A and B are shown apart, each in its own frame.
Chain A
């Protein structure tokens, strides 16, 4: 498809022509003015509308396609949340309105949302306090790791290491490193954290252990009570990566289980759309002793039921966001929680786990399933059998695209060869799951009879497989068309 720049016609008037007759030099010395207009596209409004409508048709999304992307919780994003976030009483609200005198007098509705949202998340996860400021899951991890660092520093502990299991998301070690920690990786056994490996790694200088539970194989960490005890005995903290919270709502609260810090991905568990990569929201919850270290500002409720922004927390790690986080995102998640309520959240987790186990069972004998037991909301299969014919997990993923499905997560976690990780979510119907299984069976059969056809997939999309090596070598990162 032609780029915007290739469609540009010079001198076409944009939407805001005729606003003023002034020139930049009326206000600024010539030396401060840009030389020549930016070479941006000059298009009519309909051209722009057509261009982006056409681009949108080249995308898979949950609205159009089953999207069983493991660890990403691609559930249906209810449409009413968009209407909530578009209410002018929220969209037009300047963040600094809350920092005028009265610390929130003019923004009581927004502060009430934040206060109540924190309360709800505390109850859902059993934590003592939350910050809504982190703007994505990885940002939540960084916030959590910084809280851990601040806690140990305040205690006078010399703790320099963070342990991450080998099945962890790559963001865990990267976030720990950014908070100044050295990262130690430990190997899993039978798909879960091995208490012996943990014991060996759990030296005095370990500040925290980062865990995902259920883990990225979709397995519940059955040794959790033992692991928690070991970690706390070593005066280390236990971090919960909330990527997989959709499996356990109402079944276990991470705070009750002994986790000290948790980040949630509201764009996963709480139904806000992923937006093609963002914006997300990654609130962080902490246990009682870590509350003083949460970022500022915090929302406080006064005796007269008014809400104020409170910056007076001397042990706080400071600002993680310019203001109060991705308000427009957690606003949607707040509406989602109100809509589902207690019952609905429990049912969401129950049905997410039901769907994953149903899909796992239906795929028995189709693909290898390395840890084939009751899983939580996702499971991992392997295409090692197909690999004999030269067909890899990647090829199966691409063949699924041809059938109109987004592919599962592939080659993650790193500990399973030719890995395909499926997360169907609670919002997909049995009919969808059944049709998906039939199509996947057809692909696996084709891998046996006509492997080259599978390796050539996809053939029904706007492009066939793309040359990623060439992209990295040539580094064409911008359009060179000069817009006339």
Chain B
């Protein structure tokens, strides 16, 4: 039997020690009538057979296309050293670091991850991560609810629709009011946001760059939020933070991010990484694991999980959240990724993505009938309006080996002709050129 090491003789010895005649005797507590009605599973396979089957399944996925899909999840290059280091068994096969003396590797790495995230976002404290960007946003909103004891939450429609649906679902039983301020031609409606944030508002949530790729300065909105004692939450694209004005500089109380762009493969939606950081004032409201530095009994530096009085295993139903794990290995990957690139490499990567995206914008908007949706500054992603439904264009170009972007009509009724186009450093100018020519040919 794979992975069960006992010989028959050892099994007999063990049963004899226990004092039972057979393994079945060990299950005597399970009433007979509760035995499975069926357990109709396939027979086991060899390692070779499983791998062959999985390779066949993997080959049924179209990963051979040149894709300009983004929408919050991007195909960036991951240095080989990220995989090599994060796959070390000492990291991968450890549990949550409950025994700190035997887990200094994980703990110091999380401490360094917290530090790196704080510096990237210019925030005071970060937790050890949560599941993904969407659950991080929910937790951030709940921090706002606890800190203000208010129940009104204001979000911009330019916040990822995927996350807005998640927030809607998560808050459905919590007696919270979720107010969505509509976008204005694919950009945040600043006046509308200012009006919506009032004395009853617990938190205001924006995204930068927003779902359409626009970059903006939310300082004024966060100033206003502070004046009415609401909590300001900003979702960001961590790689782009190498060049963008930070949530800290804009006065956000909480910054969250989907950390996928830092060393996580796309992997059809997960595992990803929910980055979460806040100001010093908010730390005790923050859910999840947090690592702190301390000393051992001989005065040497060491690291432990700290502020555990917030957590479910102590506080049970009164905890700040039900979260009892983090995405430790994903956080480790993000830290290794950031360390390998360094501040200069992150900046160069972000700029290369931006350079290519601006080239793509120029090429696409040169096609008759194609125009930019909105006119705000952007980084590596932008939306264009086509003369025909975007879904059709995507279908047709996919047949030619290109996914030109994401059709915004999927989530935004009224924007059926709009396409969201993302570039990363993995694209070439040639990729963009060919895609633009194909699109141009199609629309002619």
Contact = CB atoms under 8 A, between A and B. Distances in A.
B267 interface: yes
A257 B98 CA distance: 34
Interface string A61-80: 11111010100101111101
A178 B322 contact: yes
Contacts of B297: 456, 464-465, 467
B332 A470 contact: no
User: Which interface class (under 10, 10 to 19, 20 to 34, 35 or more) fits B?
Assistant: 35 or more
B304 A93 contact: no
A27 B352 CA distance: 11
Contacts of A17: 344-345, 348
Interface string B389-403: 001101100100001
Query: What 5 A-B pairs have minimum CB-CB distances, sorted nearest first?
Result: A89-B58, A323-B269, A341-B44, A14-B345, A318-B169
Interface string A319-356: 11111111111010001011111111111101101110
Interface string A449-484: 000000010100111111110111011111100000
Contacts of A63: 89-90, 92-93
B316 A183 contact: yes
Contact of B295 (A100, A183, A335, A470): A470
Contacts of B51: 80, 83-84
Nearest to B62: A106
B178 interface: no
B111 interface: yes
B316 A170 contact: yes
Contacts of A1: 104, 108
B227 interface: no
Interface stretch (B20-28, B180-188, B192-200, B364-372): B20-28
A38 B119 CA distance: 6
Interface in A376-428: 376, 397-398, 401, 406-407, 409, 412, 426-428
B444 interface: no
B97 to A, nearest CB: 7
Given A58-B108, A60-B94, A325 B295 contact: no
14 contacts: A45-B81, A48-B340, A52-B88, A69-B98, A80-B51, A135-B131, A251-B30, A252-B36, A327-B267, A339-B44, A374-B20, A462-B101, A474-B294, A476-B294
A37 B119 CA distance: 9
Interface in A82-111: 82-102, 106-110
A351 B166 contact: no
Interface string B114-151: 11101110001110110111110000000000000000
A222 interface: yes
B226 interface: no
Contact of B93 (A51, A224, A274): A274
B191 interface: no
A346 B351 CA distance: 54
B131 to A, nearest CB: 4
A32 B270 contact: no
A20 B31 CA distance: 69
Interface in B284-341: 289-298, 300, 302-304, 306-309, 311-319, 321-330, 332, 335-336, 338-341
A136 interface: yes
Contacts, number: 696
A472 B304 CA distance: 9
B406 A96 contact: yes
B105 A59 contact: yes
A146 B138 CA distance: 15
A477 B126 contact: yes
A461 B91 contact: no
B261 interface: no
B103 A329 contact: no
Contact of A430 (B14, B27, B93): B14
A96 B269 CA distance: 8
Contacts of A76: 3
B246 interface: yes
A91 B39 CA distance: 32
A123 interface: yes
B363 interface: no
B428 interface: no
A58 B104 contact: yes
B4 interface: yes
Contacts of A61: 89-94
A74 B98 CA distance: 14
A461 B101 contact: yes
A16 interface: yes
Contacts of B354: 22, 24, 27
B69 A107 contact: no
**How many of chain A's residues touch chain B, expressed as a range?**
35 or more
Contacts of B217: 31-32
Interface stretch (A197-205, A229-237, A275-283, A284-292): A275-283
Contact of A276 (B25, B95, B352): B95
A427 B69 contact: no
B100 A466 contact: yes
Nearest to A25: B243
A274 B267 contact: no
B282 interface: no
A91 B266 contact: yes
A424 to B, nearest CB: 11
A9 to B, nearest CB: 10
B101 A458 contact: yes
Contacts of A120: 41
A29 interface: yes
A128 interface: no
Contacts of B84: 49
B97 A276 contact: yes
Contacts of B85: 48-49, 52-53, 56
Contacts of A94: 67, 69, 73, 75, 266, 268
Contacts of B169: 146, 295, 317-320
Nearest to B95: A274
Given A27-B379, A34-B249, A14 B343 contact: yes
Contacts of A354: 6, 11, 14-15, 18, 23, 26
Contacts of A123: 38-41
Contacts of B306: 468, 471-472, 475, 477
A29 B344 CA distance: 20
B304 A471 contact: yes
A365 interface: no
A174 interface: yes
Contacts of A176: 317
Contact of B348 (A16, A273, A358, A361): A16
Given A177-B319, A321-B131, A322-B258, 15 more contacts: A17-B345, A34-B242, A37-B343, A40-B342, A63-B89, A109-B60, A137-B324, A139-B135, A170-B312, A180-B173, A250-B36, A251-B27, A252-B36, A256-B36, A412-B313
Interface in B200-247: 215-217, 241-246
Contact of B95 (A69, A146, A252): A69
A42 B343 CA distance: 7
A95 B50 contact: no
A350 B23 contact: yes
B267 A328 contact: yes
B96 A173 contact: no
Nearest to A476: B293
B73 A95 contact: yes
A470 B294 contact: yes
A340 B2 CA distance: 7
A157 interface: no
A109 B62 CA distance: 9
Contacts of A139: 131, 135, 323
Interface in A168-184: 169-171, 173-181, 183
A13 interface: yes
B102 A33 contact: no
A51 B335 CA distance: 12
A141 B341 CA distance: 38
A174 B101 contact: no
Given A20-B348, A274-B94, A468-B306, A463 B104 contact: yes
